[in-house]
Amino acid sequence: MAIPYGRRVIRRRVVVTGDVQGVFFRDTCRRVASELRVSGWVRNLPDGSVEAAFEGSPDAVARLVEWAYRGPRTAQVDQVDVYDEEPERLTGFEIRSSPY
């Protein structure tokens, strides 16, 4: 799922708060990212929020950030903080372990 060199790649990190753990947020995020050909990762945080990093084309990353504001059907998203970061040229999308 690597983006060919020469194409513009951006990275956004999001922290999503609300009722977002135990509602398949991470697995659904991974599936949507794969459909959009976005690389990165997602993980639960100890405070009940979810953190994710998205890398890919500007349009695909924007669509995945937009999805984070809704989340899966069973989630209740209260807030999304979005941070611009330098791309790390990640490949694939993974669910990471929580930093507990």
Q: What is the CATH number of the domain that holds 66?
A: 3.30.70.100
* Strand 10-19, strand 50-56: pairing: antiparallel
Q: Which residues are catalytic?
A: 26, 44
Instruction: Give a yes or no: residue 5 inside a domain.
Output: no
Instruction: Give a yes or no: residue 17 inside a domain.
Output: yes
Instruction: Give a yes or no: residue 32 inside a domain.
Output: yes
In which domain, by residue range, is 46 found? 10-88
pLDDT tens digits, one per residue of 16-50: 999 999 999 999 999 999 999 999 999 999 999 99
Instruction: Give a yes or no: residue 59 inside a domain.
Output: yes
The answer, yes or no, to whether residue 64 has pLDDT greater than 80, is: yes
Instruction: Give a yes or no: residue 4 inside a domain.
Output: no
| Measured CA distances, 22 to 34, 35, 59 (Å) | 21, 22, 29
pTM beyond 0.85: yes
Instruction: Give a yes or no: residue 3 inside a domain.
Output: no
Task: Give rounded-to-5 percent helix, strand, coil for the chain.
Answer: 25, 35, 40
The total number of structural domains that make up the chain: 1
Report residue 82's pLDDT band, with 50, 70 and 90 as the boundaries. very high
